[in-house]
A = this chain, B = another copy of it.
Amino acid sequence: MPDIDTLMQTVGRAARDASRYMAAATTARKNAALTELARLVRDRRDAIREANAADLTAARAAGLKESFVDRLAVTDAVIETMALGCEQIALLPDPIGEIKDMHPQASGIVVGKMRVPLGVLGIIYEARPNVTIDAAALAIKSGNAAILRGGSEAANTNACLGELVALALESADLPAKAIQVAPTVDRAFVGAMIVATDYIDVIIPRGGKSLIARLQNDARVPMIHHLDGICHTYVDAECDLDMAVSVSDNAKTQRTSPCNAMETLLVHAAVADVFLPRIGAVFAAKNVEMRADERALTILTASGLTCVPATEEDWETEYNAPIISIAVVDSLDAAIEHINRHGSGHTDAIITTNRPASDRFLREVDSGSVMVNCSTRLADGFVYGLGAEIGISTGKLHARGPVGLEGLTSLKYVVLGHGEGRH
């Protein structure tokens, strides 16, 4: 086996070369590859399941937790979802090549922008092998090449899926090396990817916070990344209280583990006495642990509900669990201040009937998604109509919030002249 740097160079050069072809590929060809990939995923399910069985056996032998093994498993349902995903992405409009905003300038030239792929994506992810197909499909449609580095525990499954992607690309006369599964499970390859500025244009990590934080510290390649999901719902003084209860309930309890689930509920003092006992009863009935500031604690306890005092740490904790922190605030300003100070720039919502309040909340809360009168759980590429999602960005450059095909592209300037020079 060649050393890691040599491997990275080999894979990187092949990706860079392939990326030129992908950038110029016609929509028809990219869609043909996606449709063929869907067919292959369904057609070769036995091979996929066989490779996956080897991974599952090794994972169980290594004593990995059953929840981890669950994520690793490629069931018939997962296979069908992967295939459907490819077909859906084939149906999306091709973002590449769009030319817009062409305006004539004083010098006589006409200047506008063209949407182009980023080049080579480096996608680093953990257990779920379906990401291999999802990420490959998004990269193909957006005209990018990609290097996919999945979890080592899924190595057999990912290698098998990678072969199907290569077959699908070849069947459409696209370069097989456009999508490469990392050729080694050595962790050092991740380290090599995130500094490979010559070969990789953007790193997109998908995984837990510890993975992301580590990568962020060491990466030289720009990243589109997702850190915390500390999402807030702020119940304003003027609002529909029934809506406030149902939306807060949904944001917290519809599912508690996703990053867009609410972690902190802020309530305006003017409605706290009425609203908190109602939502508190809902949470209590659903076994949601409540951690409250002093005023919220007093109100909740007075109405016979059990809750504990929140600590400073609670305001900056992503529980991903049936736990919620609750605070009473005296004003919209205080709510915005709390969110901008303690939040993670993910998704935050206001429940209000007051237009000036919602306008200020939308403008001043500095998050990827800002919402009025709906559940933070709706922050999602599919729900937003993007058709697909590579992840949710909590960064502020390039792409914020759910990242779809467009987030895998950028705009270059197109200039049309008639012999003009600078004078």
Give A contacts to B, CB under 8 Å: 20, 23-24, 97, 103, 105-107, 109, 111, 114, 116, 118-119, 197, 201-202, 216-217, 220, 222, 224, 240, 243, 246-247, 249-251, 254-255, 340, 349, 360, 362-364, 366-375, 377-380, 383-385, 395-402, 410-423
Asked if residues A413 and B419 are in contact (CB atoms below 8 Å), the reply is no
Asked if residues B383 and A109 are in contact (CB atoms below 8 Å), the reply is yes
Which of these, B24, B220, B420, contacts A217 with CB under 8 Å? Answer: B220
Which of these, B106, B224, B375, B385, contacts A103 with CB under 8 Å? Answer: B385
Which of these, B114, B368, B383, contacts A362 with CB under 8 Å? Answer: B114
Closest to A345 in B: B412
A-B contact list, 15 entries, CB within 8 Å = A105-B385, A116-B366, A202-B397, A243-B419, A246-B419, A247-B420, A251-B421, A370-B413, A371-B414, A374-B416, A378-B417, A379-B415, A383-B422, A384-B415, A399-B410
Residues of B within 8 A of A116 (CB): 363, 366
Give 5 new A-B contacts, CB below 8 A, not counting A20-B366, A103-B385, A371-B415.
A97-B363, A114-B363, A118-B396, A254-B422, A400-B411
Closest to A255 in B: B422
Whole-angstrom distance between the alpha carbons of A246 and B413 in the complex?
22
Closest to A103 in B: B385
**A97, A217, A383: residue with the most chain B Cβ atoms closer than 10 Å:** A383
Given A118-B397, A220-B217, A413-B400, check contact A420 B374 (CB 8 Å).
yes
Closest to A400 in B: B412
Which of these, B349, B366, B413, B422, contacts A375 with CB under 8 Å? Answer: B422
Residues of B within 8 A of A349 (CB): 415
A238 to chain B, nearest CB (A): 15
Residues of B within 8 A of A416 (CB): 371-374
Asked if residues B411 and A366 are in contact (CB atoms below 8 Å), the reply is no
**A97, A105, A111, A255: residue with the most chain B Cβ atoms closer than 10 Å:** A111
Whole-angstrom distance between the alpha carbons of A417 and B368 in the complex?
16
Which of these, B23, B109, B222, B377, contacts A366 with CB under 8 Å? Answer: B23
Asked if residues B415 and A372 are in contact (CB atoms below 8 Å), the reply is yes
Asked if residues B422 and A378 are in contact (CB atoms below 8 Å), the reply is yes
A402 to chain B, nearest CB (A): 7
Whole-angstrom distance between the alpha carbons of A373 and B373 in the complex?
52
Whole-angstrom distance between the alpha carbons of A201 and B345 in the complex?
12
| Top-8 shortest CB links A-B | A374-B417, A250-B421, A377-B422, A375-B421, A398-B398, A371-B415, A243-B419, A401-B413
Residues of B within 8 A of A109 (CB): 374, 378, 383
Given A116-B366, A216-B220, A400-B410, check contact A415 B103 (CB 8 Å).
no
Residues of B within 8 A of A247 (CB): 417, 419-421
Closest to A369 in B: B413
A197 to chain B, nearest CB (A): 8
A247 to chain B, nearest CB (A): 6
Given A400-B410, A414-B370, check contact A375 B420 (CB 8 Å).
yes
Asked if residues B378 and A419 are in contact (CB atoms below 8 Å), the reply is no
Whole-angstrom distance between the alpha carbons of A254 and B255 in the complex?
63
Asked if residues B396 and A410 are in contact (CB atoms below 8 Å), the reply is yes
Residues of B within 8 A of A111 (CB): 383-385
Residues of B within 8 A of A103 (CB): 385
Whole-angstrom distance between the alpha carbons of A410 and B366 in the complex?
11
Asked if residues B396 and A363 are in contact (CB atoms below 8 Å), the reply is no
